[in-house]
């Protein structure tokens, strides 16, 4: 880790910043600094406390440009963050660039199907704005107040990722020297954000999963999708993951669902819980073995959003039923789901009916410990068994063990995201889990050809990381951007 | 929250905060900004979660307790919006709300001798000097309705605000018009809500105990409140503070008035047309879930048309009166001005509220010529019946 900037340098940078962008956008009071000192996954004592020197709240793109230029000149580390839990490490003595005040929805283009947003726009903000437009955006498993860009840049799991690898069409980026450019079609004067790349290489990809290390995003165009004449969620239950995955693949291969998710029973029962349901459902789940659902409770529930013209959806439903039978599954009617798993149904109704989040207390169980991998379908069947068995070894103290799994890019790659909820104050257990996860990533890569969703150390990525390092050095020669943030290991540049 | 709760007791619950800002705004799809300090100066620090993280930082010895922490702790408007929108914290031991945890921070500050200047210091000094709080209301019930054996007890014991006296008098006139016998709980004293809210907990317990001793023989009677802060505090907090508290029957004056209109004991006699907006006071609305009664009362008044502000009922925006710290300059008055701006946007003639703090504070930030446009519900009903 780079040494903390000295006091005189800090004061000079702070003074200059205040003059250039306005004092009200720059905070260095002790209370602000300590409350931003441990924002990784909440105030989590498992991670180092790194008090910034300044927290900057830009209100315009130019504020970001000025901040980066000054930071670059003083070689001040900058970490760009949004709202909601982050996976990023911040830098001791650095600047935190909190773009929450930049929350305008600049354009909703229903002709081409994209929305241009500032980095502070939340899922709640965009899903509200889209009501009545006949369009919807992809939603995922983050809380509604979470920023869209935060999740999109991390290639998070979202509804339309069944079809597309991510939701980004175009990004406006500021580099440490103050250069501003757009990665897609909007870089050309008077051209909208309809095309991700062309005639040049796809540079938006450079900022996806880069965790802010390559540039600061100040604007983004994301995909939005038409709300079709008819839509409904189809449910099918399966006794094992293998059958559920074959079912999902079959549907995707035949262009049936808009998107489709496989949920394990711990997750579909507890994810959408409101506080009022918590006591009724959670106690049974907490003492259960994830591998053995109660009689009549399917091990996996597959939700498939079917949409299109009314006639089309009716046919899709019949196809889903036929395919479910082919893979030993059982169709669950809305009435049955409503009766047996009311919280589940309420969650799906909100997410797929209103196209926004169920405000649940799922995450309040504690900080989750999550393990995420991508693999080809046949490998994922083995990985699911492996991961579930490893999670069972942690004991019931980490229940519920929630997982969901779904295709990306029409099923070329399958995601499995499995997590447990250890007591957040049990640091020893959480460290043990974290260590175990690293071992599991190794096994998953070597034995099952699975790629982790987050960086796992440059020693395992070889020349890929070499190239990234070269690009990083060219764009950010002073290494000021998100230097402890996850793409590169601390201090490795 | 029990007065013996410590910062360590809330550490695990506070650490569940997801840092997602859910505590700052209302439900989807309106997503109205509701937390005054966040609205004023959006940052994670200035949110319910920011207060929780500050406590965690204090417990982790990352910051020293000093006067600035007191100023910050008292800068929260105590409007309950955070607790209405975040259900995460209260799901964990000791099962308390974010605002309770902020009050706990205030009480820790006070214990260490850090009290912000202004109204908080004034109250603190009064409490230290007199051992209690609350000026005599000098309110006398008219002989026509005064009956010490009546089963309705009028709770208007203190008069902390200038508005309170006028509201009390209007309420008494209304009780007289209704004609049912009432008795008065006390002519002076305090329920303790301000001491609780401001973290003056050392002085709170004896006061609350003494009040309960007076109340106990009357617990089967119906207490009628004009100040929602008193009502909320006695109804919700006395049981947490006093192990032997057994609950009282309680009603806000708006509920009593709504009933009186309904059964014909009170009649609207002035029919002059007027458009009004109603400001839901935080403690009457989010605190006690009383939203319909004031609106029912307004609907019972001839010629009165209610035009709702965009932020209403559980998504009402605070008046800012209870901001007693100065960590964010002008927060208290700017909050009131923001609400007044929203009222002006409705194009109505009058802003009706049902809390003395709200009335006082709105009037404070309005030009002198407009102050008459803010009225308490009791005063407004009194004028038209």
Q: Which 3 state secondary structure label does DSSP give B100?
A: helix
Extract the tokens encoding A425: 């104050």
Residue A272 has pLDDT above 80, yes or no: no
pLDDT number for residue B136: 63
Q: What are φ and ψ of residue B139, in 5° steps?
A: -90, 130
Task: Report whether A159 contacts B62 (CB < 8 A).
Answer: no
pLDDT digits (tens, 9 = 90+) for B335-349: 999 999 999 999 999
Mind telling me how many Å the CA of A145 is from chain B's nearest CA? 6
Residue A305 has pLDDT above 80, yes or no: yes
Whether residue A64 lies within 8 A of chain B, CB to CB, comes out as no
pLDDT number for residue B165: 83
Burial B233-248 (b: 16+ CB within 10 A, else e): bbbebbeebeeebeeb
Of A30, A275, A356, the CB nearest to B63: A30
pLDDT number for residue A487: 79
- Residues of chain B with pLDDT below 70 are 134-138, 157-162, 187-188
pLDDT digits (tens, 9 = 90+) for A96-148: 999 999 999 999 999 999 999 999 999 999 999 999 999 999 887 677 888 89
Judge: A44–B87 Cβ closer than 8 Å, yes or no: no
pLDDT number for residue B152: 93
| Interface predicted TM-score (ipTM) over 0.90 | yes
Judge: A31–B45 Cβ closer than 8 Å, yes or no: yes
Judge: B29–A127 Cβ closer than 8 Å, yes or no: yes
Of A30, A32, A146, the CB nearest to B43: A32
Q: Where are the domains of chain B?
A: 8-120, 152-257, 265-383
Whether residue A345 lies within 8 A of chain B, CB to CB, comes out as no
Q: Does the structural domain B265-383 have CATH classification 3.30.70?
A: no
Q: What is the mean pLDDT of residues A482-493?
A: 70
Mind telling me how many Å the CA of A477 is from chain B's nearest CA? 30
Of B27, B28, B43, the CB nearest to A57: B43
Q: What is the mean pLDDT of residues A404-432?
A: 92
Neighbouring CB atoms inside 10 A of B350's CB total 16
pLDDT number for residue A198: 84
- Residue scoring higher pLDDT (A416 or A1): A416
Judge: B54–A31 Cβ closer than 8 Å, yes or no: yes
Q: What is the mean pLDDT of residues A190-198?
A: 94
Q: What is the pTM of this model?
A: 0.94
Domains of chain A: 105-226 (3.30.465.10), 230-452 (3.40.462.10)
Residue A1 has pLDDT above 50, yes or no: no
Judge: A100–B25 Cβ closer than 8 Å, yes or no: no
pLDDT digits (tens, 9 = 90+) for A61-71: 999 999 999 99
Whether residue B330 lies within 8 A of chain A, CB to CB, comes out as no
Element (H, E) at A268: helix A265-270
Extract the tokens encoding B124: 């603190």
Judge: A359–B28 Cβ closer than 8 Å, yes or no: yes
Mind telling me how many Å the CA of A160 is from chain B's nearest CA? 21
- CB contacts < 8 A, A to B, total 135
pLDDT number for residue A2: 46
Judge: B15–A44 Cβ closer than 8 Å, yes or no: yes
Q: Within the 258-277 window of chain A, which residues sit less than 8 Å (CB to CB) from chain B?
A: 274-275
Torsion angle of the four alpha carbons B340, B343, B348, B353, in this order, in degrees rounded to the nearest 10: -80
The percent of residues in chain A predicted with pLDDT above 90, rounded, is: 67
| A43 alpha carbon, distance to own chain's centre | 19
Query: How far apart are the C-alpha atoms of A456 and A66, rounded to whole Å?
Result: 33
pLDDT number for residue A137: 93
pLDDT number for residue A87: 63
Query: How far apart are the C-alpha atoms of B214 and B185, rounded to whole Å?
Result: 8
Q: Within the 146-205 window of chain A, which residues sit less than 8 Å (CB to CB) from chain B?
A: 146
């Amino acid at each position: 880790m780079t040494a903390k900037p000295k006091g005189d340098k800090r004061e000079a940078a702070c003074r200059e910043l205040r003059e250039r962008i306005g004092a009200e956008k720059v905070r260095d009071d002790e209370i602000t600094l300590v409350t931003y000192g441990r924002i990784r996954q909440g105030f989590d004592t498992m991670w180092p406390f790194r008090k910034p020197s300044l927290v900057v709240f830009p209100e315009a793109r130019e504020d970001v440009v000025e901040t980066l230029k000054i930071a670059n000149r003083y070689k001040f580390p900058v970490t760009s963050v949004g709202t909601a839990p982050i996976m990023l490490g911040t830098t001791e003595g650095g600047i935190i660039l909190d773009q929450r005040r930049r929350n305008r929805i600049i354009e909703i283009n229903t002709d081409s199907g994209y929305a241009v947003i500032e980095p502070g726009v939340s899922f709640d903000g965009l899903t509200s704005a889209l009501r009545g437009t006949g369009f919807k955006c992809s939603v995922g498993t983050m809380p509604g107040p979470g920023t869209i860009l935060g999740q999109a840049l991390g290639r998070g799991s979202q509804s339309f990722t069944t079809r597309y690898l991510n939701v980004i069409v175009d990004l406006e980026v500021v580099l440490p020297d103050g250069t501003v450019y757009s990665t897609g079609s909007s870089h050309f004067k008077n051209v909208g954000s309809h095309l991700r790349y062309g005639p040049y290489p796809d540079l938006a990809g450079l900022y996806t999963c880069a965790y802010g290390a390559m540039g600061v995003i100040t604007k983004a165009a994301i995909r939005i999708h038409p709300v079709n004449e008819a839509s409904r969620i189809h449910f099918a239950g399966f006794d094992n993951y293998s059958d559920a995955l074959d079912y999902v693949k079959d549907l995707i291969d035949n262009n049936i669902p808009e998107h489709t998710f496989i949920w394990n029973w711990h997750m579909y029962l507890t994810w959408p819980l409101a506080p009022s349901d918590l006591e009724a459902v959670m106690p049974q789940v907490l003492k259960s073995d994830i591998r053995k659902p109660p009689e009549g409770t399917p091990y996996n529930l597959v939700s498939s959003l079917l949409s299109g013209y009314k006639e089309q959806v009716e046919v899709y439903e019949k196809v889903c039923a036929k395919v479910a039978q082919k893979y030993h599954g059982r169709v669950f009617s809305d009435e049955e789901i409503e009766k047996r798993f009311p919280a589940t149904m309420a969650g799906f109704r909100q997410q797929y009916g209103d196209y926004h989040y169920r405000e649940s207390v799922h995450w309040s169980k504690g900080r989750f410990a999550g393990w995420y991998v991508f693999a080809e379908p046949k490998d994922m069947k083995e990985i699911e068994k492996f991961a579930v068995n490893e999670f069972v070894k942690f004991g019931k103290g980490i229940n519920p063990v929630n997982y969901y799994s779904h295709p990306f890019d029409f099923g070329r790659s399958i995601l499995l995201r499995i997590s447990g909820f250890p007591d957040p104050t049990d640091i020893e257990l959480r460290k043990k889990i974290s260590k175990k996860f690293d071992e599991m990533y190794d096994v998953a890569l070597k034995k099952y050809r699975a790629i982790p969703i987050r960086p796992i150390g440059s020693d395992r990525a070889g020349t890929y990381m070499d190239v990234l390092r070269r690009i990083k050095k060219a764009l950010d020669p002073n290494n000021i951007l998100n230097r402890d943030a996850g793409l590169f290991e601390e201090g490795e540049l | 929250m029990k007065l013996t709760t410590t910062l360590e007791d809330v550490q695990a619950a506070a650490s569940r905060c997801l840092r997602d800002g859910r505590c700052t705004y209302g439900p989807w799809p309106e997503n109205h900004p509701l937390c005054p300090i966040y609205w004023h100066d959006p940052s994670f620090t200035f949110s319910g979660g920011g207060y929780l993280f500050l406590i965690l930082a204090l417990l982790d010895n990352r910051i020293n307790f000093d006067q600035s922490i007191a100023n910050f702790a008292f800068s929260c408007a105590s409007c309950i919006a955070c607790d209405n929108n975040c259900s995460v914290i209260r799901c964990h031991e000791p099962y308390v709300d974010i605002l309770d945890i902020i009050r706990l921070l205030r009480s820790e500050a006070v214990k260490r001798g850090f009290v912000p200047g202004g109204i908080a210091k004034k109250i603190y000094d009064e409490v230290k000097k007199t051992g209690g709080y609350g000026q005599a209301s000098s309110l006398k019930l008219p002989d026509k309705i005064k009956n010490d054996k009546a089963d309705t007890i009028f709770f208007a014991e203190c008069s902390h605000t200038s508005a309170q006296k006028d509201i009390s008098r209007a309420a008494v006139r209304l009780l007289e018009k209704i004609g049912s016998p009432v008795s008065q709980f006390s002519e002076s004293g305090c329920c303790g809500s301000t001491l609780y809210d401001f973290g003056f907990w050392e002085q709170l317990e004896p006061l609350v105990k003494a009040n309960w001793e007076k109340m106990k023989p009357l617990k089967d009677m119906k207490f009628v409140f004009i100040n929602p802060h008193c009502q909320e505090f006695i109804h919700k907090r006395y049981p947490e503070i006093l192990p032997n508290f057994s609950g009282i029957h309680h009603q806000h004056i708006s509920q009593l008035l709504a009933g009186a209109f309904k059964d014909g004991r009170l009649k609207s006699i002035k029919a002059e047309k007027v458009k009004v907006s109603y400001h839901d006071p935080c403690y009457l609305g989010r605190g006690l879930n009383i939203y319909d009664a004031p609106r029912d009362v307004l609907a019972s008044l001839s010629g009165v048309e209610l035009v709702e502000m965009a932020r209403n009922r559980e998504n009402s925006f605070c008046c800012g009166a209870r901001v007693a710290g100065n960590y964010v300059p002008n927060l208290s008055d700017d909050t009131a001005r923001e609400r007044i701006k929203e009222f002006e946007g409705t194009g109505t003639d009058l802003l009706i509220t049902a809390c003395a703090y709200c009335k006082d504070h709105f009037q404070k930030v309005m030009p002198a010529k407009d102050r008459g446009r803010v009225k308490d519900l009791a005063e407004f009903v009194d004028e038209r019946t």
